[in-house]
Structure formats: structure tokens, C-alpha cells
Amino acid sequence: MRVMRKQIFVCATPGEGRCGAKGGGELLERFREEVERRGFSPQTVLRNACTRRHDEGPVVFVFPDDVWYTRVRLEDAPEIVERHLLRERVEAR
Ligand code: FES
């Protein structure tokens, strides 16, 4: 059986009007802290390249769930991590 690991991609692309200018870098670090705090590898969170959605940035994408989040705030990180990483872990038991 193949286990597909979840990944959280956070856009932190620098530049005027881009996610990096809207707090994407801080958001990336916040997500890494949150997954580590919950016992996951910091590699669970990766920096994403621009996907042309920065008008609604910063944007976060969860693979393989194919779920996008827009205008993500630092305080949203715990709920997103819980929704995609923790609930599934409990349900899989
Ligand atoms: S810079 Fe984040 S979607 Fe373009």
C-alpha cells in the first residue's frame, strides 16, 4: 500500500502586490512552527511558486486534497493544519 503524504504549500513570492508582500514569508514560518508543534516534519510545509492568485493572497494550497485558501492570516494556520493533517490521522485509526 502506498501512503501519500500531505503537503501544505504557502506562497511567499516576493514583489509588489505578491504574496510575500502580504505576509507570505511570516505565514510560511507560522505553518512550519505549527506542523512541528503537532509532531510533523517541517518538510510538510513548502514554499510555493506564484500561481497568479496573489490578488487574493497570501494563498495556501493543500496537496493532495486540492484545497486552496486565500487571504490566509497567521491565526488561520492551526485550523488548516488540524483540518488537513490531524483529523485525517484520527479517522485513519
Ligand atoms: S505571488 Fe502568490 S499567487 Fe502570485
Question: Are 85 and 6 contacting, i.e. CB atoms less than 8 angstroms apart?
Answer: yes
Question: What span, in angstroms and rounded, lies between the C-alpha atoms of 68 and 59?
Answer: 7
51 lines ligand 1 (CB under 6 A): yes
79 domain residue, yes or no: yes
Could you read off the pLDDT of 45-78 as tens digits, one per residue?
999 999 999 999 999 999 999 999 999 999 999 9
93 domain residue, yes or no: no
32 lines ligand 1 (CB under 6 A): no
Count up the domains in the chain and report the number: 1
72 domain residue, yes or no: yes
52 lines ligand 1 (CB under 6 A): yes
Question: What span, in angstroms and rounded, lies between the C-alpha atoms of 90 and 59?
Answer: 27
Range of the domain at 81: 7-85
* pTM of the entire predicted model: 0.90
Q: Which of 57, 59, 34 is nearest to 44 (CA)?
A: 34
CATH number of the domain encompassing residue 59: 3.40.30.10
Task: Inform me whether the pLDDT recorded for 18 exceeds 70.
Answer: yes
